[in-house]
Amino acid sequence: MTPAAVQTPRQTSEMTFDVARIRRDFPILQERVGGKPLVYLDNAATSQKPLQVLEALANYYEHSNANIHRGVHALSVRATAAYEDSRRKAAKFINAPKPEEIVFVRGTTEAINLVAQAYARPLLEPGDEVLITILEHHSNIVPWRMVCEQTGALLKVAPINDAGEIIVEEFQRLIGPRTKIVAFAHVSNALGTINPAVELTRIAKARGATVIVDGAQAAPHLAIDVRAIGCDFYAISSHKMFGPTGVGILWGRFDLLNAMPPYQGGGEMIKSVTLKEIIYNDVPHKFEAGTPNIADVIGFASAIDYMEQVGRDHIADYEQELVEYGTRVLSAIPQLQLVGTAREKAAVFSFTVEGIHPHDVGTILDGEGIAVRTGFHCAQPCIERFGLDSTVRASLALYNTREEIDALAVGIRTVVEVLG
């Protein structure tokens, strides 16, 4: 293996969508669970990693492991180049105007907390309002609840209909003269609903609100264009899109990031420190205190390369075929009730099985080698909106197949036979 830090191992040129070939890139898909082939349908929780990402991590540790930005020796220069190249790739991935607007964080959760504390907390006053939706992951609820408690602002929640779609008229009605922040998910992790991000942003911006979009579930499924959306902040997580855990990005408009105070203090986020004065570093470095997760940032860039080579349009088209096929197959099971049937939907099936607790469904499916998620999926208000305390969630990615959906259906019928 060559020592070039910016090299992404195992790259292929003009990769076309071939699910059998794609599956060969993911070693874990060859695992067997209880003697049965693994059917991995928990991608909304975390996706699996291709060889290209695994080898990028190994390549860094074998040839470039050093701290970044401060060293003049060869390894540090090499690691710094790879780290900053990752920033450029992340910017291109979401069509950000410039790489300096990309802040590396631990994931979407930290990104939203950063905005809540460094942007919203100094801005909000008692009686101001923050609007979210009932679809949100806890990561886009709890930080706003916290900052409202800290400032005296009010948290408002936009409702959804029985299909799991935001009621746009109600969303619009809830934005008033005191609404300073509007935050919503691009794609619901619990239901798979694809929200009309451009329309929601336009409505909020017309009323003078700042818009934060949680893109964690959009990143693996959709092409993202923050300029077309028109939002002010956008957050994604590497591990949802075939990269390592513990890495993500916050994109923010440069003028907003530049005006925000640092979120954490320490090394790297300063230009100068004396006992009398601290001069903070420029954007984005003033938000990246301490030694960052260098290897996994580089692995994240490799995941971006992988998705670009496969083609995000190809991924979206293929997954929509799976959504349509899965909806037909699962709807044919009389005892199964789908939860979330939005017209615009990513590859997520949330459902219940009549008379059987979701945890029991998940346990029996695991015995068949089928990995699904059960519970309220860190979106408790959303699930409770449907009068439930939990669902079964099967979430797909680019490497899943119709045969795996068939296996899920067979597994559910087995659950009904055993427990129904």
Strand arrangement, sheet containing 373-375: 336-338, 348-353, 391-395, 373-375
- Give the Cα separation of 187 and 135 in Å (integer): 9
**CA dihedral defined by 285, 291, 296, 300, rounded to 10 degrees?**
0
Structure tokens at 119: 């942007």
Handedness of CA 403, 408, 414, 420 (dihedral sign): negative
Structure tokens at 11: 């790259």
Largest Cα–Cα distance of the chain, in whole Å?
73
148, 231, 378, 382: the catalytic one is 378
**Phi/psi at 251 (5° precision):** -100, 135
Amino acid at 318: Y
Which residue, 212, 260, 204, is CA-closest to 235?
Answer: 212
Distances (CA, A) of 242 to 45, 301, 349, 389, 398: 11, 10, 20, 29, 10
H or E segment and range at residue 199: helix 197-206
- Give the Cα separation of 125 and 215 in Å (integer): 27
- Give the Cα separation of 351 and 339 in Å (integer): 5
236 beta partners: 249
Q: Reply yes or no on whether 378 is catalytic.
A: yes
**Phi/psi at 234 (5° precision):** -145, 135
* Catalytic sites, residue numbers: 378
